[in-house]
Amino acid sequence: MAEAAKQSWVARAGTGFGGQLRVPGDKSISHRGLLLGAIAEGTTRIDGFLRSEDCLATLAALRALGVTVDDEGDHVSVHGVGLRGLSAPAAPLDLGNSGTAIRLLAGLLAGQSFDTALTGDASLCRRPMGRIADPLGQMGARVDTTDGCPPLTVHGGRALAGIDYRLPVASAQVKSALLLAALYADGDTQIRGSGASRDHTERMLLSMGAALDLEEDCITLHPGRRLEAMDLQVPGDLSSAAFFLLGAALAADAPLVIESVGINPTRLGILGILELMGARVEVSNHRMEGREPVADLLLARSALRGAEIPPSVVPLAIDEFPVVFVAAAVADGDTLVTGAEELRHKESDRIATMVAGLRALGADIEERPDGALIHGGKLHGGEIDSHGDHRVAMAFAMAALVADGPVRIRDTANVATSFPEFPGLAVQAGLTLEVTES
């Protein structure tokens, strides 16, 4: 996968930044459409599916599990095999860079009659899997990890029982893995403490006819119902839009408009953070696509100021901290990020990677175990290592809009895991970006 390619970028400010654009489909919703469509009855049509390496890894895994998925250009059709219709894959499933794919699949596969081996790239094989293996074990499943990380072996043919589980971290991946396993359990499963994390799985399960009670701090899944196929329209990914919002806040010469972006409340933390920092995103043309809210976003250039980021907002903006760190580094005053230790368990250790990258561009920043204190100021040009982390690479590309020289970003190929169109769209918006392969 992307790991073999050594790609780097040189980003520079262009003549302006702005315009009207659309970002590709939401990654979390695209994964879930495939996974739930696979175990539903009938054909699930997914329009706006994100053709990124992460989602294509899930698609390939489902094909290896016996599911027919037709990629029909403007949409994907998943021919569901029902809850009990998956079959044993001939080889280990390689989920590349995707934490969502490996964790959700582990939950789904815990309820099957066969064993499955799951693996991924070097970054994925450093990510913690005890957080799913332990609660799945409490349900009666057996997920063997390799020192707590992938490769995993998910043992099939085990009777699962419902559990009452309190999530130790607000993680949608853990919650979703447990909900998928719970479809196969004898008895209800209750998941508590999950309020803050993204809720796309719950919305989609309800659309497909699952019996799910949603209370303030507790989700209850009653197994036994089959899932019905659905038509899914995937909204633009707010986590991809966030890089362009950053670019607009820093350098727009005319307002930037991003059309048809998902504005699920469990994802909206970045809008609140930008507002705290002095950038107000206008949200218009609200509508629903199925159970997911969608809108157009508009942002003009903004004078950013430092802010104290409330820890409660961290799970609602969990993928947007590379954007927040760059915004903070050029804001007027200090920004304090706390309660964000989870960032150390993403595609890279995002606290360490962002601190190192910003320092390389001259920022004054103090690393903390659970965040950072960022003293806003000016950035100069320089060279940073993204450590293969797609979101780090894209955030630093936008930093170049205000740096006083070119920003060279190493190890950028993994941007294709979530946003293959980023270089082209960034150039369209006004960034100067050279891509080199070596």
- The 3-state DSSP class for residue 334 equals strand
Asked if 246 and 395 touch (Cβ cutoff 8 Å), the reply is: yes
Determine the distance from the C-alpha atom of residue 132 to the mean position of all C-alpha atoms in its chain, rounded to a whole number.
17
- The 3-state DSSP class for residue 203 equals helix
- Least distance (Å) between residue 111 CB and ligand S3P: 19
Asked if 271 and 281 touch (Cβ cutoff 8 Å), the reply is: yes
Catalytic residue among 199, 237, 296, 319: 319
Q: Is 173 in the site for ligand S3P (CB under 6 A)?
A: yes
Q: Is 313 in the site for ligand S3P (CB under 6 A)?
A: no
Interface region with ligand S3P, contact rule CB under 6 A, candidates 40-48, 169-177, 264-272, 362-370: 169-177
Distances (CA, A) of 152 to 31, 94, 109: 19, 11, 11
Interface region with ligand S3P, contact rule CB under 6 A, candidates 141-149, 166-174, 228-236, 256-264: 166-174
Q: Which tokens hold the place of 372?
A: 């950072």
Q: Judging by beta carbons within 10 Å of its beta carbon (0-12, 13-18, 19+), is residue 84 exposed, middle or buried? A: exposed
Q: Is 172 in the site for ligand S3P (CB under 6 A)?
A: yes
Under DSSP, the state recorded for 209 is: T
Q: Is 351 in the site for ligand S3P (CB under 6 A)?
A: no
CB hemisphere CA count around 317 (13 angstroms): 26
Of 115 and 342, nearer to ligand S3P (C-beta) is 342
Of 99 and 111, nearer to ligand S3P (C-beta) is 99
CB hemisphere CA count around 140 (13 angstroms): 17
Of 163 and 172, nearer to ligand S3P (C-beta) is 172
Q: Is 417 in the site for ligand S3P (CB under 6 A)?
A: no
Under DSSP, the state recorded for 317 is: G
- Least distance (Å) between residue 32 CB and ligand S3P: 7
Asked if 113 and 73 touch (Cβ cutoff 8 Å), the reply is: no
- Residue 353's nearest CA partner among 381, 297, 394 is 394
Q: Is 353 in the site for ligand S3P (CB under 6 A)?
A: no
Backbone angles phi, psi at 212, to 5 degrees: -135, 130
- Least distance (Å) between residue 345 CB and ligand S3P: 8
Q: Is 44 in the site for ligand S3P (CB under 6 A)?
A: no
Q: Which tokens hold the place of 310?
A: 């409330």
Q: Is 319 in the site for ligand S3P (CB under 6 A)?
A: yes
- Least distance (Å) between residue 172 CB and ligand S3P: 4
Q: Is 318 in the site for ligand S3P (CB under 6 A)?
A: yes
Q: Is 123 in the site for ligand S3P (CB under 6 A)?
A: no
Tell me, yes or no, if 217 is annotated catalytic: no
Tokens 């799970």 correspond to what residue?
Answer: 315
Strand order in the sheet with 334-337: 308-309, 334-337, 371-375, 364-368
Asked if 413 and 8 touch (Cβ cutoff 8 Å), the reply is: no
Show contacts with ligand S3P in window 61-120 (CB under 6 A). Answer: 100
Under DSSP, the state recorded for 161 is: B
Show contacts with ligand S3P in window 184-223 (CB under 6 A). Answer: 197-198
Asked if 19 and 254 touch (Cβ cutoff 8 Å), the reply is: yes
Of 361 and 395, nearer to ligand S3P (C-beta) is 395
- Least distance (Å) between residue 25 CB and ligand S3P: 13
Q: Is 171 in the site for ligand S3P (CB under 6 A)?
A: yes
Q: Is 266 in the site for ligand S3P (CB under 6 A)?
A: no
- Least distance (Å) between residue 199 CB and ligand S3P: 10
Determine the distance from the C-alpha atom of residue 131 to the mean position of all C-alpha atoms in its chain, rounded to a whole number.
17
Distances (CA, A) of 17 to 25, 50, 172, 329, 426: 22, 25, 34, 19, 9
Backbone angles phi, psi at 49, to 5 degrees: -55, 135
- 8, 153, 176, 353: which one binds ligand S3P (CB under 6 A): 176
- Least distance (Å) between residue 58 CB and ligand S3P: 11
Q: Is 314 in the site for ligand S3P (CB under 6 A)?
A: no
Interface region with ligand S3P, contact rule CB under 6 A, candidates 165-173, 250-258, 275-283, 401-409: 165-173
Of 31 and 408, nearer to ligand S3P (C-beta) is 31
Of 172 and 307, nearer to ligand S3P (C-beta) is 172
Q: Is 153 in the site for ligand S3P (CB under 6 A)?
A: no
CB hemisphere CA count around 230 (13 angstroms): 22
**Residue in the shown chain whose Cβ atom is closest to ligand S3P:** 28
Q: At CA 61, angle to CA 57 and CA 62, rounded to 5?
A: 120
- Least distance (Å) between residue 156 CB and ligand S3P: 23
- 7, 28, 302, 412: which one binds ligand S3P (CB under 6 A): 28
Show contacts with ligand S3P in window 240-259 (CB under 6 A). Answer: none
- Residues catalogued as catalytic: 319
Question: By the criterion CB under 6 A, which residues form the site for ligand S3P?
Answer: 28, 100, 171-173, 176, 197-198, 318-319, 342
